Structure 1
Amino acid sequence: MPIRQLFPTLFYEADLGDATLLAELDESCRALAQDDTAGRRWSKAHGYRGYTSYASLNDLPLRDPVFADLKKALDRHVAAFAKEAGFDLGGRKLKLDSLWVNVMKPGGTHSGHIHPHSVVSGTVYVAVPEGSGALKLEDPRLPMLMAAPPRDGTFVYAEPRAGSLFLWESWLRHEVMTSAAKAERISVSFNYRW
């Protein structure tokens, strides 16, 4: 009797492939972490170990040309992911909805979450010192498994390196594992909507 796998969960992994863009992103992210007083204040108030522009700046591609260059690269990757995922977009394209910087200090983590009101989410890793921690992805069926015995693959750990680009559907629960690195991990996260 044949067994079929139904409803696959896709995870896109690529390399940004642009060392110059990566170096410019590193410089811009570090500058934002120094200059964005509102972002630093929000990060401190919400227990974020480091800095994020998540709640303070919503115009990075307009504010800094390096983020506009990143957006162009992301648009291509997100279009490829959407095609592979079989999205019926009715001739429309997914559009960047939000993009934010994360400068995570050693010991930093981000608990399990999803990205509501988005279709595709992702992260570009700019600086990834050894021990930074993986992206932990959760089997989306987990809440429905009820009395099922444990199984392999309930959690998948994606190990980034500088230049890694990860994409997933925004409903996929994920978390950032605790960083044991001795230096800051820098990333840029984003959401695309329809």
Structure 2
Amino acid sequence: MTTRSLFATRFYEGALADDALLEDLDHSCRTLAQDDRAGRAWCKAKGYPGYTSYASLDDLPMRDPAFADLKRKLDAHVQRFATESFMDLGGRKLKLDSLWVNVLKPAGMHSGHLHPGSVVSGTVYIAVPPGAGPLKLEDPRLPMMMAAPQRTDAAPGDSQTFVYAHPAPGSIFLWESWLRHEVAPGTAKSERISVSFNYRR
């Protein structure tokens, strides 16, 4: 008899591998968190624990050379992920749709969500202090499991209900946009800085 694993969910882990760009991005993210009044006002109104440019700035690659350099690097990683995920794009490449900064306060978290209307989503991590919350990924079948028992602690990653990905500065995580995910709370003493993004057809 044979037991097969079906319907794999792919998750990409890469690296920026550019310390100078990482330093430039850190400076740019912290500057935005100070200067973007509209973004800070949105965060205060929505109860976001820190700063995000998600609702205020949609032109970061045109506004700042560091984000333009980041876009070029991300384009290559996303293309690689699309190929490794067997996406039939008709000979075309996915295009960056949105890119935003997150400066999360210590112990801050971001509840579970997905990214409708996009194909690939991801995050590049700029500052990851000790104790920063990991990225928590949810089995997309969870709403249909009903009476299914929990998985044992010894189950491999592809059989767990939740998987936790722990980034380092420069880590690039990619996933298909329908995959529900969240930022788990951590115990860090300083801010966790990242840049998130969506790619579409």
TM-score by length of 2: 0.95
**Residue in structure 1 matched with residue 167 of structure 2 by the alignment:** 160
Q: Letter of the aligned partner of 2:73 in structure 1?
A: A
Pairs within 5 Å for 1:24-63: 24-63=24-63
Given the alignment of the two structures, is residue 139 of structure 1 paired with residue 150 of structure 2, yes or no? Answer: no
Pairs within 5 Å for 1:1-194: 1-152=1-152, 153-194=160-201
Q: Hey, what's the Cα distance between the residues in 2 that align with 1:4 and 1:182?
A: 44
Runs of 4+ in 1 over 4 A off after TM superposition: none
Q: Hey, what's the Cα distance between the residues in 1 that align with 2:4 and 2:11?
A: 20
Q: Hey, what's the Cα distance between the residues in 1 that align with 2:126 and 2:116?
A: 25
Say which SS state the counterpart of residue 45 (structure 1) adopts.
Answer: helix
TM-score by length of 1: 0.99
Q: Hey, what's the Cα distance between the residues in 2 that align with 1:29 and 1:82?
A: 28
* 1:179 to partner: Cα distance: 2.9
Q: Hey, what's the Cα distance between the residues in 1 that align with 2:66 and 2:186?
A: 26
Q: Letter of the aligned partner of 1:30 in structure 2?
A: R
Q: Hey, what's the Cα distance between the residues in 2 that align with 1:5 and 1:122?
A: 25
Q: Hey, what's the Cα distance between the residues in 2 that align with 1:159 and 1:184?
A: 16
Say which SS state the counterpart of residue 122 (structure 1) adopts.
Answer: strand
Unaligned stretches of 5+ residues in structure 2: 153-159
Unaligned stretches of 5+ residues in structure 1: none
Q: Letter of the aligned partner of 1:180 in structure 2?
A: T
Q: Hey, what's the Cα distance between the residues in 2 that align with 1:105 and 1:28?
A: 17
Percent identical? 72
* 1:191 to partner: Cα distance: 0.3
Say which SS state the counterpart of residue 173 (structure 2) adopts.
Answer: strand
* 1:22 to partner: Cα distance: 0.3
Q: Hey, what's the Cα distance between the residues in 2 that align with 1:163 and 1:125?
A: 5
C-alpha offsets along residues 53-94 of structure 1, whole Å, 9 cap, x if unaligned? 000000000000100000000000000000000000001110
Q: Hey, what's the Cα distance between the residues in 2 that align with 1:147 and 1:21?
A: 48
Q: Hey, what's the Cα distance between the residues in 2 that align with 1:142 and 1:51?
A: 31
Say which SS state the counterpart of residue 41 (structure 1) adopts.
Answer: helix
Q: Hey, what's the Cα distance between the residues in 1 that align with 2:104 and 2:25?
A: 15
C-alpha offsets along residues 20-79 of structure 1, whole Å, 9 cap, x if unaligned? 010000000000000000000001111111100000000000000100000000000000
C-alpha offsets along residues 70-120 of structure 1, whole Å, 9 cap, x if unaligned? 000000000000000000000111000000000011121000000010000
